[in-house]
Chain A
Amino acid sequence: MKRILAQCSKELAQFRRDRLTLALAFILPVMTLFIFGFAIRLEAKNITLIVQDFDHSNLSQSYVERLYATNQFLPVQWSGTDPVRDGIERGLAKAAVIISPEFSRDVKAGKTSVVQVLIDGTDVNNARVIKNSIQAFTNAFIQDQNLLQSPSKILPRIRLWFNPGRQESLYIVPGVFGVILAIYPSLLAALAMSREKEQGTILQIYASSVSAAELLLGKGLAYFIVAIGQTLFVMGLGCAIWQLGFVGDPTPLLIGSLAFLAASVMFGLFIGVRASNRSVAVQGVATVGFLLSLLLSGFIYPLNNIPFPLSLITNLVPARYYIELTRDAFVRGTGWSGVWSAPLLLALLAFLLFSIARKIISRMQLSG
């Protein structure tokens, strides 16, 4: 125990003295928070839209007016005769609505009149959003204008839970916490471990009476303390900017955070033990950490969408469980009954990483 604490205080002293790393430990997470928190949004606002109205009747004009009044679309000027496809091809508009000359005549005659919609399909998600919202708008328009003799026979009463305004920040920002705390604590830990290897000071440790577990726990404890600082800093800032607060019992997040930070630091130490120098360590954490926690954690799109062989890997990604916890704490609010397994699995992953790293080090000690 004494040796662990000694190792830890040595590491913290070294960390404090290194200005560059100290700055990186706090500036990089904040930068990431800003970029991810503000810039990752999935649904486009102000979708550029061309409308070609060949009908020019009152009905078609009010259709167009109301369509723009939904505030989702931004009108693009387009000459009446040019093919609208060109506008989409050149990227001037994301979608186009074409109203045929027979629009109002058909409606009055009791026939179905078709409104053509062209959508730029390059952005798959927004293409789907545009298609849905124009369709929903048209249905609402039919109801509003009393174009049907009788209203629909089945009325869906839809309620959106937890996030009725569908603010994307409520989904993204808790996820950003998970990504940041998966990467930066492990980056620092990996740097510290690989520095010993690069400078050869690890040999002194191998030769000393410090055991592998003590070495890992000592270094781990130091960066665990730093990581708690990072967590408080990043979460405090994030909650203040995007106005998040605990909606339920905060204890699962508190305990989960401790387990997650331990896993994150252990992952860094593991990479650090494997890497021969610091550059390799940084690259290892950056590529592996980023790929896993950004892409296989359910941060951007739902986890269910990840196809089979790849979906197995997601089970080993700590950020996945942690993002579940942050979303629960800040948005959902079910507390222990909903997320009891996440802190347990995180602790298990932390222990797993610890024992692998320990095995690698003790093997080195024997041979050296």
Chain B
Amino acid sequence: MKLFRRLIESRFWVLSVKEISQILRNKQLIFLLVFPPTIQLLIFGLALNPDVQHLKLGVTDYSNTPMSRELISALTANEVFEVKSVTLDEHALGEQVRRGQITAGLVIPPNFNRLLKSDQPAEVQVLIDAVDANTAGIANGYMSQIINQFGRQFMPNVVPPIQTQATILYNPGLVSSWFIVPGVIGLVLNLGSSLVSTAAVVREKDTGTLEQLLMTPAAAWEIILAKVVPLFVLLLGEVILALSVATFIFQVPFRGNIFLYLFFAGLYACVGIGIGFLLATVCRTQQQAILTSFFINLPLIQLSGAIAPVESMPKFFQIFSLANPLRHFVTISRGVLLKGNGLDVLYPEALALFAFAIVLLTISTNKFRTQLS
């Protein structure tokens, strides 16, 4: 009770209340913390979709027998391919692939049925549009697998000697948003924390109220702490909002501990606040701060693995990205949500974030303090 009384009467509390009421009155800030994250999560989650399904297939079936039609239906059976055009001219088919109207073209030779009946191997031609290297690779894989499997029906020895049985862990249905959304939560938290904290400091600078704060008997650390704590609480609210979008709209599983997740999110919020304060102390005006944050956030986000996996980057960028706090948070976010990882697995990332938070907060508060005094 006594402690509570002392807290209420402390300068820190009064300053915090001032910050909170300032934040709450700033409609733009609240808007910034609610609207963009939700929209970003929705668009990222829906639009970044690596699914390879309904690829447009063009067919030139010179054979036109039940057998050749069966091959076509084998290709379209699991919805990987979808017949978009049927031509009787190989060149027309080739032209359609050239123009990108179809992703794959299949040419079945006139003697297809005859060769199979007489127990000879039949060749079918497949053209794949490989402008999109990734999709082409997957289409190629499916194509040869399905055709091989189909061809096996005609063999005396039906049993394949070796078969692979793949089990996909954590995301057996390969739902693409489960990969993107946990990463985008990190992205949203990063943008939110750095933007809001920059704004909180630069606003005082712009309007000249920073000097007034200095005149009060409050010590520098009290001013800083009173700025950090309300932002921190606000950002945790943002994380909870983002998590609800993830679990309720995208049905992303939450396999780990929610308190552990919030702990990590809090740690990252400190990192983000550190970045924001640093920007605010370095930049003189709000415009400069925003342009510089653009300059910093772009590589931070792109090299975090939130959009394209870190493992696919060239070696140099993979090593470089270790210096990116967001990369560690994205790993944590996926680990806790999808894999159900605990601290025993995620401690290296946790330590890294801890180090980033301490270094950034120390540097920025020191700079801030020297500017204050």
Binding site for B on A (CB under 8 A): 20, 24, 28, 31-32, 35-36, 38-47, 63, 85, 88-91, 94, 107, 110-129, 131-136, 138-139, 141-142, 147-164, 166-168, 170-171, 277-279, 282-283, 286-287, 291, 295-296, 300-302, 304-307, 310, 327, 331-332, 334, 337-338
* Most chain B CB within a 10 A radius of its CB, from A111, A133, A141, A152: A152
Q: Determine how close the nearest CB of chain B comes to the CB of A337; give it in whole angstroms.
A: 7
Return the chain A residue nearest B288 by Cβ: A20
Question: B99's contact among A45, A131, A337, by CB below 8 Å, is which?
Answer: A337
Task: Determine if A139 and B148 form an interchain contact, defined as CB atoms under 8 angstroms apart.
Answer: yes
Determine whether the beta carbon of A164 is less than 8 Å from that of B144: no
Contacts A/B (CB < 8 Å), 6 sampled: A39-B313, A118-B169, A135-B141, A150-B156, A154-B121, A158-B126
Evaluate contact between B147 and A310: CB separation under 8 angstroms: no
* B123, B136, B331, most chain A CB atoms within 10 A: B136
| Residue pair A115, B165 in contact (C-beta under 8 Å) | yes
- Please report B residues at the A interface, Cβ cutoff 8 Å: 36, 39-40, 43-44, 46-54, 71, 97-100, 116, 119, 121-138, 140-145, 147-148, 150-152, 154-157, 159-172, 174-176, 178-179, 286-288, 290-291, 294-295, 298-299, 302-303, 307-309, 311-314, 316-317, 331, 334-335, 338-339, 341, 345
Q: How far is the CA of A167 from the CA of B127 in the complex (A)?
A: 17
Is the CB–CB distance between B141 and A136 below 8 Å? yes
Q: Give the nearest-CB partner of A330 in chain B.
A: B131
A113 vs B46: C-alpha distance when bound (angstroms): 40
Shortest beta-carbon distance, A31 to chain B, in Å? 7
In the assembled complex, the Cα of A128 lies from the Cα of B138 at a distance in Å of 8
Which of A31, A121, A150 is B174 in contact with, Cβ under 8 Å?
Answer: A121
Determine whether the beta carbon of B168 is less than 8 Å from that of A115.
Answer: no
Smallest CB gap from A36: residue in B: B302
Residues of A within 8 A of B71 (CB): 154
Q: Which residues from B are CB-within-8-Å of A28?
A: 294-295
| Complex: A282 Cα to B132 Cα, angstroms | 32
Task: Tell whether, in the assembled complex, residue B116 and residue A153 are in contact, meaning their CB atoms are under 8 Å apart.
Answer: yes
Q: Kindly list chain B residues whose C-beta atoms are within 8 Å of the C-beta of A113.
A: 161-163
Q: Is the CB of A283 within 8 A of B169?
A: no
A282 near B290 with CB under 8 A, answer yes
Contact A153 B151 (CB under 8 A): yes
User: How many whole Å from A131's CB to the nearest CB in chain B?
Assistant: 5
Distance of A240 Cα from B302 Cα, bound (Å): 23
- Decide: A171 and B307 in contact? CB cutoff 8 A: no
Chain A residues, Cβ within 8 Å of B36: 287
